[in-house]
Structure 1
């Protein structure tokens, strides 16, 4: 009888291992089919936005500190429609993306020269991001 129980336990353990391996393989295959571009774009934009907020906290608010991040945000903002092809024909998405680019264009044309100005720019960018995320973020 002890041999039968051990045999069942062994078969159960083998089934569990095979199940885990098959699940991991399936999830990897599914993940490989996903487009990493939209998430990567949002991570890059999030990084540069965080750098602007960190500049305010560190009192590094002159144009030479902020313009590289504003430029990076504007460059990546040009890719929003191609990053989200399912939304490119949505008028609300197009308007939100356009407003985001306009906000960044204004900030780059008139870069903040002090922390008070940078706080206002960060708020405008944050408002533009939230406007889109409220409607389209999953």
Structure 2
């Protein structure tokens, strides 16, 4: 009788590697699902308000830098900022009763109202409006963002 060649058993390392890779994929999927669930619990409105205000403030500043300071270029951004300023207490209900927050929001609205009542007609005036808006935002952020 001829002896049969010896059959080697497959290495267990390939099975362990396969199970490890499956564990990594399942872990990544579970992590993404958990992060999405936590994100869904957060209210996006406060961040959205700040992003829109920052965008319009930045566009207003860009108009001044581009020397495009006619009222038709600047007023739409000031008008939008003023409309969004009405939602600050709604966006930050935990701060609505804070006297400092009330002071900051009323000053911000007053500066925007002044800009709407006497629209900037040149880049010097528009630059002053941009500076006032920046100062108002910075003062509030120093008190409440840390």
Q: If the length of structure 1 is used for normalisation, what is the TM-score? A: 0.94
1:83 aligns with 2:91: yes
- Asked which structure has the greater CA Rg, the reply is 2
Larger mean Cα displacement after TM superposition, 85-94 or 108-117:
85-94
1:106 equivalent in alignment to 2:81: no
Given the two structures, how large is their TM-score scaled by the length of structure 2? 0.89
Partners of 2:34 and 2:100 in 1: CA distance: 36
1:13 is aligned to 21
More helix by share: 1
What RMSD over aligned residues (CA atoms) do the two structures have, in Å?
1.3
CA shift at 1:78, angstroms? 0.4
The reply on whether 1:45 has 2:60 as its aligned counterpart is: no
Matches within 5 A, 1:37-76: 37-76=45-84
User: Aligned residue for 1:25?
Assistant: 33
Once the 2 structures are TM-superposed, how far is the Cα of residue 2 of structure 1 from its aligned partner?
A: 5.6
Which residue in the other structure is 1:133 paired with? Answer: 141
Cα deviation, 1:90-136, whole Å, max 9, x if unaligned, reads: 11111111111111111111111100111111101100000001111
Tell me the number of residue pairs that the alignment of Structure 1 and Structure 2 aligns.
138
Consecutive unaligned residues in structure 2, runs of 5 or more: 1-8
Runs of 5+ consecutive residues of structure 1 not aligned to the other structure: none
